[in-house]
Amino acid sequence: MKHFRLILVFTLFLVPGSMRSAQGANERDSSFILLVVPESDTTMTSSAVYRLSASTNPGRRVTINGKSYKVYPSGAFAGLLGLSVGENRFVVTSAGSAADTISKSFLVIRSKPLETTSRDTLAIEDPLMEPSLDLWLNEGDELRVQFKGTPGCTASFLDGLPMRELSPSENGGLKGVYQGIHKILATDTLNNQSIALRLEDSTGRAVTRQTESRVSFKPREFPMVAVTKADRPALDFGPGEDRLGGAKLSFINPRVRLAITGKVGERYRVALSKNQEAWIKEDQVDILSAGTFPPHTQTGNITVSGDEKFDYITVNMGEKLPYSSDQELEPTRINVDIYGAVSNTNWIVQHNTVREIKNLYYTQVEKDVFRVTIELKHKQVWGYELGYVGNNLFVKIRRQPDRLKVKALTIALDAGHGGPNNGALGSTGSREKDVTFSTVMHLKRLLEKKGARVVLTRSDDTYPLNSERLKTVLASGADILISIHSNSVAVTSNPEESKGVSTYYKYICYRPLSQELLKSVVKTGLTPFANVGSFNFTLNSPTELPNALVELAFISNPEDEMKLMNDEFRKEIAEKIVDGIEDFLDYCDD
Ligand SMILES: [Zn+2]
């Protein structure tokens, strides 16, 4: 019994607050070295540096390959390891007051940078080969071909189209990188073929390769007509990708018709108008049979009306066309662009049941882009939904709440990660999912005490997908959404350098909420890291309600981690978030 009690006290001492760490009590009882990043004993990277996040028993001395590291009161130690090309063996030692030095070693292997192909062999190599994805190209598109091979040769692609060798100075000293471009003509055809590459040396010896990617020239088949499917198809601005996916232009309804004019990898290019393009994932559309008319319609009457809860705008249309929206501040406006639509709108019928809409008008901004501009009475946009009823586009405008008090509102809270998804880990093994959940529980109690109705996207240690969380929020009719996460640096950054709180929004009209939250949370003493806009995060993506993401602090930073592991501090952050919501409501009331 005595032994049991001792372990318990020890654990509480090491991990303040109510949270358990990933490290078990038994291991904590004796000397340990916990390596969080790198995650495994052997790590491969192409980077010249690698992050270290680790911990040992508090009060011990740590060295790595003989160099001393600062050990924080939590036992955390962290830094950025420099890497040579090849194998880097690191030995961590942790020494206590007695002669009980323990050690742990791990390996980080930095891959060699690309080297110039030897002149002794005639070869076309795999790295740098373009196109790397399958392509469907239209008239006027460029087929861009690149490969790396023996320098100083003559390179060509397709049926003898010339390629040029880049000068090493354009290419970090690397020789033998060849590039060629072919602009697709109306008469070009190529049906799902790999591209033939050829390299010939001065003696006339030649080597050929085929790209793994397959290319089609389809000027005669474009535009193809597609129709959207799936839950919430997204139009991206470009074919780019990052950790959060490509930058989003618009979320649209199913059954919307799109003109397809190309494909890169798994994404179709969409011609929105004469001058504007977007991209959509292939699994979000069905291609209709050849001969289907491309999307295009004239607009009819516009009706503006209201019921007890919302204002509505209905644009009569002949078919479902793609749309996007943006917002302007001062004066407050929502612009809805409908692509492929030409005005034949001769009536804008405005009923006096409208309460939030001040003015509504349209502009034909391009010959095939019809823009509806909605001016609001209040400076804050409280949300709007866009979609179709039949072939008519509707905009449902949420009005400013009558009482700008927390007790009059429904507030949705999202605790990031959960269940098998731990989120980021701190140096002591603390888990982001526990920090977010605990903070959200404090927030819930504080908001309910003030009389608010609170909706949670998760109420236990489970992991609903972000798309499911969003559905929960939208179905609840919540007035405000706040998502809680904690930040972490990448494996190539120094965890001791980035710290503090940051808030995020996607749409400019919801920036004020994120700014008020940031202003308030820094009063806890956390460093202001940044206010980040255009953030491509699912729970920042609804236009339906004001929303913000709060990244409480950097769990990857040992000092921030200690704060996040302190339950009193989490409660204090929650109090400041509540204050921030109230400051936002005051801002709206001005
Ligand atoms: Zn997170």
Dist. CA 278 → ligand 1 center (Å): 28
Instruction: Check: CB of residue 486 under 8 Å from CB of residue 519.
Output: no
CA of 469 to the centre of ligand 1 (A): 14
Is the separation of the CB atoms in 494 and 562 below 8 Å?
Answer: no
Q: Tell me how far the alpha carbon of residue 416 lies from the centroid of ligand 1, in angstroms.
A: 6
How many angstroms separate the alpha carbon of residue 333 from the centre of ligand 1?
32
Q: How far is the CA of 488 from the centre of ligand 1 (A)?
A: 8
Mind giving me the DSSP string for 54-82? Answer: EEESTT-EEEETTEEE---TTSEEEEEEE
555 CA to centre of ligand 1 in angstroms: 10
Q: Which two tokens stand for residue 310?
A: 């919302």
Dist. CA 539 → ligand 1 center (Å): 12
34 CA from centroid of ligand 1 (Å): 22
C-alpha 436 – ligand 1 centre gap (Å): 8
Quote the ligand 1 centre to 409 CA distance (angstroms).
Answer: 26
CB 71 within 8 A of CB 58: yes
Half-sphere exposure of 409 (CA within 13 A, CB side): 25
CA–centroid distance, 417 to ligand 1, in Å, is 6
Over residues 201-246, the pLDDT tens digits come to 999 999 999 999 999 999 999 999 999 998 899 999 998 887 778 8
User: 520 CA to middle of ligand 1, Å?
Assistant: 21
494 close to 47: Cβ distance less than 8 angstroms: no
Residue 577 alpha carbon to ligand 1 centre in Å:
17
Distance 162 CA to ligand 1 centre (A): 49
CA of 243 to the centre of ligand 1 (A): 12
Separation of alpha carbons 7 and 4, rounded Å: 5
How far is the C-alpha of 221 from the C-alpha of 261, rounded, in Å? 9
Contacts of 112 (CB under 8 A, 6+ apart): 85, 86
Query: Could you tell me the distance, in angstroms and rounded to a whole number, from the CA of residue 574 to the centre of ligand 1?
Result: 17
Task: Give me ligand 1 centre to Cα 483, in Å.
Answer: 10
Residue 253: partners with Cβ closer than 8 Å, 6 or more residues away: 228, 233, 320, 387, 388
| Cis, bond preceding 401 (omega within 30 deg of 0) | no
Q: Which two tokens stand for residue 465?
A: 């997908």
| 132 CA distance to ligand 1 middle (Å) | 31
The tokens 């742990």 sit on which residue? 104
Q: How far is the CA of 547 from the centre of ligand 1 (A)?
A: 16
The rounded distance, in Å, linking the Cα atoms of 125 and 33 is: 43
Phi, psi dihedral angles at 77 (to 5 degrees): -140, 150
Query: Residue 552 Cα, ligand 1 centroid: separation in angstroms?
Result: 10
Q: Compute, in angstroms, the gap from residue 424 CA to the centroid of ligand 1.
A: 6
Tell me the three state secondary structure of residue 479.
coil
Distance (Å) from CA 486 to ligand 1 centroid: 6
CA of 379 to the centre of ligand 1 (A): 31
Give me ligand 1 centre to Cα 500, in Å.
14
CA of 489 to the centre of ligand 1 (A): 11
State in Å: Cα 268 to ligand 1 middle. 30
Structure tokens at 286: 């069905």
pLDDT score of 23: 46
Q: pTM of this prediction?
A: 0.93
Helix (H, G, I), strand (E, B) or coil at 467: helix
Q: What is the pLDDT of residue 71?
A: 98
Identify any residues that bridge with 299 across adjacent strands, giving them in sequence order: 317, 343
- The alpha carbon of 271 and the centre of ligand 1 are apart by a number of angstroms equal to 35
Q: How far is the CA of 216 from the centre of ligand 1 (A)?
A: 40
Q: How far is the CA of 462 from the centre of ligand 1 (A)?
A: 14
Look at residue 25 in the predicted model and tell me its pLDDT.
41
Token pair for 252: 């649209």
- Cα 70 to Cα 175: distance, rounded to the nearest angstrom: 44
Going residue by residue through the chain, which has 590 residues, state the pLDDT in tens, using 9 for 90 and above: 333 333 333 322 333 334 444 444 444 568 999 999 999 999 999 999 999 999 999 999 999 999 999 999 999 999 999 999 999 999 999 999 777 899 999 999 999 999 999 999 999 999 999 999 999 999 999 999 999 999 999 999 999 999 999 999 988 899 999 999 999 999 999 999 999 999 999 999 999 999 999 999 999 999 999 999 988 999 999 988 877 788 999 999 999 999 999 999 999 999 999 999 999 999 999 999 999 999 999 999 999 999 999 999 999 999 999 999 999 999 999 999 999 999 999 999 999 999 999 999 999 999 999 999 999 999 999 999 999 999 999 999 999 999 999 999 999 999 999 999 999 999 999 999 999 999 999 999 999 999 999 999 999 999 999 999 999 999 999 999 999 999 999 999 999 999 999 999 999 999 999 999 999 999 999 999 999 999 999 999 999 999 999 999 999 999 999 999 999 999 999 999 999 999 999 999 97
Expressed in angstroms and rounded, the spacing between residue 422 Cα and the centre of ligand 1 is 9
What's the pLDDT at 2? 33
How close is the Cα of 432 to the center of ligand 1, in Å? 7
484 C-alpha to ligand 1 centroid (Å):
8
Q: If you measure from the C-alpha of residue 31 to the centroid of ligand 1, how many angstroms do you get, rounded to a whole number? A: 30
With CA atoms as reference, report the closest residue to 541 among 383, 397, 413: 383
Per-residue model confidence (pLDDT) at position 1:
33
The continuous run of DSSP H or E covering 587 comes out as helix 567-589
Which of 566, 473, 562 is closest to 58 using CA atoms? 562
Ligand 1 centre and the CA of 138: distance in Å?
40
* Structural contact between residues 458 and 469, judged by C-beta atoms closer than 8 angstroms: yes
User: Nearest Cα to 296, choosing from 225, 347, 230, 362?
Assistant: 225
Give the pLDDT confidence of 346-359 residue by residue, as tens digits.
Answer: 999 999 999 999 99
